[in-house]
């Protein structure tokens, strides 16, 4: 199924990647960020995309998919540090998914790369970010 | 190697899970909260409050071990509980979604409900039925299941999920209703065992309706020793001592007394023979009417019945063990009724023969003999009541306190309170080292019996988790004691006018002291056996043997619960130092004036 609410970040064009990220960041939307390109992650992106238009509170939801943990690391990692999600035993490379609130952008929790990215967990991340955006 | 490690890990896991306790005990003493592990020494502060928390999942597992039929019901009930808990949020969510989402309060409500719902699912885990079902419903929703459309409009995923969870909940309840109706109950009891030999039920809030005992706080700092208190303790100790010595054989001894108290069958048999002889006596027989003869035959039959009953009682009592269900009450009633019936029949018979002319002498003789026997039977009835009361009371104590009175509440897993509370200060008089026995019991009504019956014959009781707590004053505390010491002065030769000491080295002297002791939470051996103390003592030796005791004082060390004491003292009156020791065993030997210190 096509991804209708997801922006794929190019891995070979950093300026474009940064521009796309800035564009999404500046939009008034709840922003789900998915990292990696495993099969489970691809399925997870589809789930996040499916859930995007179903916000029960009417929030706009968007998905940003970065297929590796290198591109935009400098931009994204601080959110996880600020939320104390990244710790000694959980580096950036072990994060699969997290969700940013409306402005000011911040993350609350995440899905670990070994974690399940199913409808419940992804929706839970959306709900968490939305409730923090009220 | 890997297999070995796996096996070791598995064994460890199994052991750990086997040791998982159903009850968690938390002690509150002042402001301090302490967990009491079941695998530890189970020592609690003697004046504390205990909170007993029940792990229902562990309880269910234990119940299923005993009643495997309940596994299906428990699994379904767990799922129902999960569905109901998750659906608790549906009204909040759906009502808010139908409301004005521009309203901040409505949005707060909506997201509080959604957060509660998804967090609950997260806590149950991906393997729980509620999680799997919800995940499956969301998958269906996004697969454009036809049911996601109502009147051509796609419903919200929240409406879709909640609606279908409700349907599933109904199915689970229908399924539960089809499960076999296995009856059981769970109760919890507490029982105080004191060194005085006394014991009694202790109230557990939420689990029984027993009354709280009189408030009694075991003092931490004891500094006085009253004569009344000492006397009282001595009497109690003597009673406990006598009880302890007899305890093992008491039941058998009572049974022997019981059997000895049964009426002599000779009386009944002779009475029967005398009536028969009366009927066949040539001079009497011809004068008796048919009614008198019939009444006499009735009396003989009554005697034969009571002889049979008494034989049955003897056999039953001889076969009773302390654990068997007491079945003698019914028999006793029969014997007493039979004795009463004999008395009535004989009164009728006596009235008939007394009016027959010419047999007055024979009738009077018979009346005296039979009346005597009837009196013996009546007395026996009273003796029965007394002895059976003792026997029954003794048996109840030995039945390990399992009999449940109507005061003990009965629960199933669904309505079982999560916590029980027990105030040791309201558990009755007790002292350091006394025990508190807690029992979590599973009752299984016997087939065909009333599940609510309080008759112990109507159900089987299984101890799911017994605890035997030791109550102890923890930390530093003081106790007074008295005992007998053997005193040996250092420079006996220097004492003028002391002749007795030339012939014997030690003299007895009464002693009393104030000891500082320590109670430990992590060692029953220390509390029960070592229990050392250090303190000051006073004694009244009579070194000059003039009949007037002198005054001595010094330091004393005690051990083994004050059985052994050793001290260094000073005889102030005679200006003589002496050392002393005492061996105050907790029993008396004939001729030796040694007793346990108080």
Q: Where do the H-state alpha helices sit in chain A?
A: 14-26, 39-51, 73-82, 119-131
Domains of chain A, first to last = 6-10+26-131 (3.40.30)
| Pair B233, B598: CB distance under 8 Å | yes
Q: Does B133 touch chain A (CB under 8 A)?
A: no
**Angle, helix B328-354 to helix B360-398, in steps of 10 degrees:** 170
Radius of gyration (C-alpha) of chain A in whole angstroms: 13
B449 or A114, higher pLDDT: A114
Q: Does B136 touch chain A (CB under 8 A)?
A: no
Residues of B in contact with A119 (CB under 8 A): 135, 138-139, 142
- Mean local confidence (pLDDT), A43-47: 95
Residue B264 gets which letter from DSSP?
P
Our CA angle for B445, B205, B425, nearest 5°, is 130
| Pair A57, B111: CB distance under 8 Å | yes
- CB–CB contact B93 A56 (8 Å): yes
One digit per residue, the tens of pLDDT, for chain B of length 598 reads: 444 544 444 444 444 444 578 999 999 998 899 999 988 899 999 999 999 999 988 999 999 999 888 888 888 988 998 999 999 999 999 999 988 888 899 999 999 999 999 999 999 999 999 999 999 999 999 887 766 777 677 889 999 999 999 999 999 999 888 887 778 889 999 988 876 555 678 899 999 888 777 777 777 777 665 554 456 435 534 443 444 344 334 556 666 666 666 666 677 778 788 888 888 877 777 777 888 888 888 888 888 888 787 777 777 766 665 444 355 666 777 777 888 888 888 888 888 877 777 777 777 877 887 777 777 777 766 666 666 655 555 555 444 445 566 778 888 888 889 999 999 988 888 888 888 989 999 988 887 777 777 777 788 888 999 999 999 999 999 988 877 788 888 876 666 555 555 556 777 788 888 999 999 998 988 988 888 999 999 888 877 777 778 889 999 999 988 888 999 999 888 888 899 988 776 555 554 444 444 4
3-state secondary structure of B29: strand
- pLDDT given at position B379: 72
- pLDDT given at position B243: 40
What residues have CB less than 8 Å from B208, skipping those under 6 apart?
A: B187, B188, B189, B201, B407, B408, B409
Of A54, A57, A120, the CB nearest to B107: A57
Instruction: Measure CA of the first residue to CA of the last residue in chain A; give whole Å.
Output: 32
3-state secondary structure of B528: helix
| Pair A24, A7: CB distance under 8 Å | yes
Q: Using the Cα atoms of residue A94, residue A100, residue A103 and residue A108 in order, give the sign of their dihedral.
A: negative
Cα of B206 to nearest chain A Cα, Å: 38
| Pair B480, B443: CB distance under 8 Å | no
| Pair B421, B25: CB distance under 8 Å | no
- pLDDT given at position B296: 83
Considering only CA atoms, which of B86, B384, B166 is closest in space to residue B258? B384
| Pair B504, B528: CB distance under 8 Å | no
**C-beta atoms surrounding B104 within 10 Å:** 9
> How does residue A10 score in pLDDT terms, banded at 50, 70 and 90?
very high
Residues A77-112: tens digit of each pLDDT: 999 888 877 776 778 899 999 999 998 999 988 999
| Pair A6, A63: CB distance under 8 Å | yes
Name all contacts of B69-77 with Cβ < 8 Å and 24+ positions apart: B69/B180, B69/B182, B70/B182, B70/B184, B72/B179, B73/B176, B73/B179, B73/B180, B73/B182, B74/B413, B76/B172, B76/B175, B76/B176, B76/B179, B77/B176, B77/B413, B77/B414
For residue A106 the two structure tokens come to 């911040």
Radius of gyration (C-alpha) of chain B in whole angstroms: 38
Residue B505 gets which letter from DSSP?
S
> How does residue A14 score in pLDDT terms, banded at 50, 70 and 90?
very high
- CB–CB contact B101 A128 (8 Å): no
Q: Does A128 touch chain B (CB under 8 A)?
A: yes
- pLDDT given at position B347: 84
Q: Does A120 touch chain B (CB under 8 A)?
A: yes
- pLDDT given at position B121: 95
**Separation between Cα atoms, residue B264 and residue B261, nearest integer Å:** 9
Chain B residue closest to A115 (CA)? Answer: B126
Q: Does B156 touch chain A (CB under 8 A)?
A: yes
Cis check: omega of the bond before B51, within 30 degrees of 0: no
- pLDDT given at position B398: 45
Cα of A116 to nearest chain B Cα, Å: 9
């Amino acid at each position: 199924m096509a991804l209708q609410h997801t922006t794929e970040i190019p891995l070979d064009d950093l300026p474009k990647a940064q521009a796309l990220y800035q564009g999404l960041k500046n939009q008034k939307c709840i922003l789900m960020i998915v990292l990696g390109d495993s099969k489970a992650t691809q399925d997870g992106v589809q789930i996040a995309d499916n859930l995007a238009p179903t916000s029960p509170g009417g929030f706009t939801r968007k998905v940003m998919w970065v297929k590796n943990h290198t591109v935009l690391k400098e931009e994204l990692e601080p959110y996880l540090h600020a939320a104390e999600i990244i710790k000694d035993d959980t580096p950036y490379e072990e994060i699969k998914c997290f969700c940013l609130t409306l402005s000011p952008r911040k993350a609350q929790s995440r899905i670990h790369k070994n974690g399940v990215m199913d409808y419940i967990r992804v929706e839970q991340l959306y709900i968490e970010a939305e409730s923090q955006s009220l | 190697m890997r297999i070995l490690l796996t096996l070791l890990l598995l064994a460890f896991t199994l052991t750990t899970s086997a040791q998982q306790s159903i009850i968690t005990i938390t002690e509150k003493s002042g402001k301090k909260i302490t967990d009491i592990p079941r695998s530890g020494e189970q020592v609690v502060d003697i004046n504390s409050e205990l909170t007993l928390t029940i792990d229902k999942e562990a309880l269910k597992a234990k119940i299923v071990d005993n009643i495997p039929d309940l596994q299906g019901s428990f699994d379904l009930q767990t799922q129902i509980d999960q569905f109901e808990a998750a659906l608790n949020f549906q009204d909040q969510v759906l009502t808010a979604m139908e409301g004005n989402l521009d309203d901040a309060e409505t949005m707060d409500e909506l997201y509080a409900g959604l957060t509660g719902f998804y967090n609950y699912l997260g806590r149950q885990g991906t393997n729980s039925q509620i999680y799997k079902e919800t995940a499956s419903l969301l998958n269906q929703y996004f697969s454009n299941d036809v049911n996601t459309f109502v009147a051509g409009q796609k419903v919200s995923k929240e409406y879709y999920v909640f609606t279908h969870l409700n349907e599933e909940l109904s199915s689970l309840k229908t399924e539960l209703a089809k499960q076999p109706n296995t009856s059981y109950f769970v109760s919890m009891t507490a029982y105080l065992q004191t060194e005085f030999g006394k014991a009694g039920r202790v109230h557990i809030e939420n689990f029984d309706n027993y009354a709280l005992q009189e408030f009694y706080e075991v003092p931490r700092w004891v500094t006085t020793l009253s004569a009344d208190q000492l006397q009282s303790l001595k009497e109690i100790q003597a009673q406990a001592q006598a009880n302890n010595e007899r305890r093992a054989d008491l039941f058998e001894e009572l049974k022997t007394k019981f059997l000895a108290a049964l009426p002599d069958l000779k009386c009944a048999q002779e009475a029967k023979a005398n009536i028969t002889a009366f009927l066949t006596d040539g001079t009497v027989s011809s004068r008796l009417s048919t009614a008198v003869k019939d009444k006499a035959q009735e009396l003989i039959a009554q005697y034969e019945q009571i002889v049979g009953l008494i034989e049955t009682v003897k056999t039953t009592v001889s076969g009773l063990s302390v654990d068997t269900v007491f079945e003698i009450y019914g028999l006793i009633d029969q014997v007493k009724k039979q004795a009463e019936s004999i008395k009535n029949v004989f009164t009728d018979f006596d009235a008939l023969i007394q009016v027959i002319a010419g047999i007055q002498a024979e009738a009077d003789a018979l009346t005296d003999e039979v009346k005597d026997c009837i009196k013996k039977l009546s007395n026996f009835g009273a003796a029965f009541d007394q002895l059976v009361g003792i026997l029954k009371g003794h048996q109840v104590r030995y039945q390990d306190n399992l009999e449940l009175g109507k005061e003990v509440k009965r629960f199933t897993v669904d309505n079982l309170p999560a916590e029980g509370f027990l105030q040791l200060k309201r558990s009755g008089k007790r002292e350091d080292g006394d025990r508190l026995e807690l029992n979590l019991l599973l009752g299984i009504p016997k087939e065909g019996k009333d599940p609510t019956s309080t008759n112990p014959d109507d159900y089987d009781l299984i101890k799911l988790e017994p605890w035997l707590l030791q109550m102890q004053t923890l930390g530093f505390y003081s106790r007074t004691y008295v005992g007998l010491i053997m005193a040996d002065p250092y420079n006996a030769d220097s004492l003028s006018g002391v002749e007795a000491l030339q012939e014997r080295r030690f003299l007895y002297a009464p002693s009393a002291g104030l000891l500082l002791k320590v109670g430990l939470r992590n060692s029953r051996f220390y509390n029960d056996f070592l229990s050392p103390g250090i303190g000051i003592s006073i004694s009244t030796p009579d070194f000059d043997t003039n009949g007037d005791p002198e005054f001595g004082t010094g330091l004393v060390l005690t051990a083994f619960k004050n059985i052994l004491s050793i001290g260094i003292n000073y005889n102030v009156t005679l200006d003589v130092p002496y050392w002393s020791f005492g061996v105050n065993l907790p029993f008396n030997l004939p001729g030796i004036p040694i007793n346990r210190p108080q």
